[in-house]
Amino acid sequence: MVWLLIAVALLSGCGTPGPHRTTALVFDDRAPAGLGHDPDEVHIAQVVAPLIRDRLGLPFPERTTVRVYVNQATFAEGLTREGGHVTDDAWDRSRVAAAIASPHGLFVRGDLLNSMRLMDKVALIAHELAHVNQMEMRRGGRGAPAHWIREGHADWVKYQVLEFLRIRTYVESRDEVKRAILRSPTSIRFFPPLDELARADRWTDAGLRLGSPATYGQSFLAIDWLVERYGIERLHEFNRRFSGNEDPRSHWSRVYPVRYSEFLSEFRARLEQLGA
């Protein structure tokens, strides 16, 4: 099996660390054996990327880069210059985000990531790499899956990676998500329906008002149930259909035997039963 190796190069071309460094993913027959002791973000990416590619079958762009920035200012500059974000949006996102995915790879704010515990570092990198996979699957096509599907799937991937690395089992991760939902100050009956989380702006608004359990939590549980019922390959097939020119509204019915609205309704009943 062909493994994925991440080769590291400093853009400055000298031995003095600069404001950022770039990690390029290349195909090779070598890969890190494990996380080791106190791995940095580059080493974590070196370990996680092959797991996602080889064990979950998710694609990466031919050239994928991981750009690590030393602080908020350089992170915002990188998002503006290399990430294609407008200046105001880049500065706003750089204040709170530790990593952001792009069609070409990841932008990582190193100072924030370094303050996190190992499990959270691995989970964040796995989640964002899953977004890179999603972008690659729909490259060149029309539209994108609903935002709740993208975020729920990215969390599904990160919990699989935590299990692959024997940090925490998938079942334990799912149980922790359920506990977070039950502990949420926002009651489940006030969680927004999934169809209201289809757009990024509404997702962001709901997250700010209601918290992570109402957005990431319920979206992950919906994807978990979708995969349990129909398998992960159908979800990947659904994501890949967005690389074509067909009407994006037709993709769900081409892949799943249940109507989209019916699935959402059934999941809502399931979610509220959890609260009961």
Q: What is the pLDDT of residue 42?
A: 84
Q: Residue-wise over 221-245: b if at least 16 C-beta within 10 A, else e?
A: bbbbbbbeebebeebbbbbbbbeee
Give the pLDDT score at 8.
34
Give, in degrees to the nearest 5, the angle at Cα 34 between 28 and 40: 95
The per-residue pLDDT for 86 is 66
Which domain does 178 fall in, by range? 144-276
- Has residue 129 got a pLDDT over 80? yes
How many CA atoms are closer than 13 Å to the CA of 273, on its beta-carbon side?
7
Judgement on whether residues 46 and 171 belong to the same structural domain of the protein = no
On whether both 123 and 11 belong to a single domain, the answer is yes
Q: What local confidence, expressed as pLDDT, does residue 92 receive?
A: 79
pLDDT at 110 > cutoff 90? yes
Q: Other CB atoms closer than 10 Å to residue 188's CB: what's the count?
A: 19
Q: Around Cβ 276, how many Cβ atoms within 10 Å? A: 5
| Pair 2, 81 in one domain | yes
249 and 204 in one domain? yes
Non-local (6+) Cβ contacts of 9 within 8 A are: 21, 22, 23, 24
Q: Work out the average pLDDT over 90-104.
A: 85
Whether residues 258 and 234 fall in one domain: yes
Residue 177 near residue 220, CB atoms below 8 Å = yes
pLDDT band at 95 (very low <50, low <70, confident <90, very high): confident
Least confident segment among 12-16, 22-26, 81-85, 103-107: 12-16
Phi, psi of 146 (to 5 degrees): -55, 150
Average pLDDT, the chain: 89
Provide mean pLDDT across the span 131-156. Answer: 96
**Between 103 and 89, residue with greater pLDDT:** 103
| pLDDT tens-digit series, residues 197-251 | 999 999 999 999 999 999 999 999 999 999 999 999 999 999 999 999 999 999 9
Q: Tell which of 92, 120, 137 closes a domain.
A: 137
Kindly state the DSSP code that residue 217 receives in the 8-state scheme.
I
Same domain as 73, residue 113: yes
Q: Is the pLDDT of residue 9 over 70?
A: no
Mean pLDDT of 247-274: 96
Collapse the DSSP code of 246 into the 3-class scheme (helix H, G, I; strand E, B; otherwise coil) and give the result. coil
To 10 degrees, the CA torsion angle through 128, 129, 135, 136? 180
Torsion 75-81-83-89 (CA) sign: positive
Q: How many CA atoms lie within 13 A of 66 on its CB side?
A: 26
Mean pLDDT, residues 183-195: 96
Helix or strand run (H / E) with residue 113: helix 110-114
Domain end point (choices 137, 154, 179): 137
Lookup: tokens for 15: 């031995």
Say yes or no: 156 and 85 in one domain: no
| Residue 58, pLDDT score | 96
**Is 104 a residue whose pLDDT tops 80?**
yes
What total number of domains does the chain contain? 2
Mean pLDDT of 91-101: 85
186 and 101, same structural domain? Answer: no
Position 37 scores a pLDDT of: 86
Share of the chain above pLDDT 70, in %: 89
Q: Could you tell me if 59 and 190 lie in one domain?
A: no
| Same structural domain, 159 and 126 | no
* Long-range pairs, 201-207, Cβ under 8 A, ≥24: 202/147, 203/147, 203/148, 203/151
User: Which residue among 137, 163, 180 closes a domain?
Assistant: 137
Question: If residue 219 lies in a helix (H) or strand (E), which one and from where to where?
Answer: helix 218-230
| Average pLDDT rounded to a whole number, residues 108-118 | 93
Q: Same domain for 187 and 235?
A: yes
Whether residues 9 and 46 share a domain: the answer is: yes
pLDDT in tens, 17-75: 467 888 887 556 666 768 988 898 988 998 999 899 999 999 999 888 899 999 999 99
